[in-house]
Structure 1
Amino acid sequence: MLTTEESYGRANSLAYKTRCYSTGIPGRAICNARTHHLVSDDGGGDALYSGELFLSGIASCAVNMVQRIANNEEIKLEWMEVGVESWRDPEKEQGDITLYDAIRVNFEMWGIADDQAKDW
């Protein structure tokens, strides 16, 4: 397996690292990042589903990135919300892996002009 350095021809530092472990209960995993742990379900409904965690990661990254850019550019961003939805074709035969037919990301921002928000 190639390392990041070999893949891109330059040295990179590790940005994030997470792990998930099976629990002995089908469809349930324990995930961790640093010292934080959470349970992920594969459809049982007792915990967050894996797909919800995936979409939450996209949304939280978007919120934090936009806030960081606004702060760096001294743009007053009062509040923002990012919603992420995934869609599947119910007529399509399900395979062994999860595939999304569409993923939509919606940004809502308060405190900045519409034309300024559209530039992002």
Structure 2
Amino acid sequence: MSMSKSNIRRYEAKAQTTNTFGRVLCSCRNHHFIVDGPVQNGCPGEEVTPGEYFLAGIAACGVELLQVLAHQEETHLKSVNVDIAGEMDRSSPIHPEFTLFNSIRLKFRLEGVSIDRGQQLVESFKGR
């Protein structure tokens, strides 16, 4: 990832097989972690799955971006919590060539700001 203030940011990740079927070793910068395919695919399912990492990435982006937006606007935001859930219905795909979530729902809980200000921050996040 480039740390410049450019409008273009590049992120990289690597993934490789392991000696366990359905278990993947992933790397981002100097961080390494294991990802398991879901049990429904015959994989171990013991570690975090790709879908869970995807959802966690969205939730983490929400927390981080709300902090940044509040900081830029000098708004005191004490804490941000995001719950996220996604549903994937393989019998009713939204795109025939890709496996995608049919729906994703986020629930934001903000502390230290009014309800109106919190809604403005969340709308700014959604508009990004």
Name the TM-score class by shorter chain.
Answer: 0.7 to 0.9
Amino acid at match of 1:33: C
Separation (CA, whole Å) in 1 of partners of 2:120 and 2:7? 30
TM-score, scaled relative to structure 2:
0.74
How is 1:16-27 mapped onto 2 (pairs within 5 angstroms)? 16-27=11-22
- Cα distance change, pair 113–99 in 1 and its aligned pair in 2 (3 A): same
Separation (CA, whole Å) in 2 of partners of 1:116 and 1:34? 35
Separation (CA, whole Å) in 1 of partners of 2:10 and 2:58? 15
Separation (CA, whole Å) in 2 of partners of 1:93 and 1:78? 41
Amino acid at match of 1:60: A
How is 1:1-120 mapped onto 2 (pairs within 5 angstroms)? 13-43=8-38, 44-89=44-89, 92=91, 98-120=99-121
Local SS of the residue matching 2:62: helix
Number of residues paired by the alignment? 109
Amino acid at match of 1:36: H
Runs of 4+ in 1 over 2 A off after TM superposition: 11-15, 92-99
How far residue 67 of structure 1 moved from its aligned partner, in angstroms, is: 0.1
Amino acid at match of 2:108: F
TM-score, scaled relative to structure 1:
0.78
Q: More deviation in 12-21 or 80-89?
A: 12-21
Local SS of the residue matching 1:48: coil
How far residue 15 of structure 1 moved from its aligned partner, in angstroms, is: 2.9
Local SS of the residue matching 1:31: strand
Separation (CA, whole Å) in 1 of partners of 2:98 and 2:64? 30
Structure 2 gap segments, 5+ residues each: 1-5, 39-43, 122-128
How far residue 14 of structure 1 moved from its aligned partner, in angstroms, is: 4.2
Separation (CA, whole Å) in 2 of partners of 1:93 and 1:83? 25
Amino acid at match of 1:108: R
Q: Which has the larger radius of gyration?
A: 1
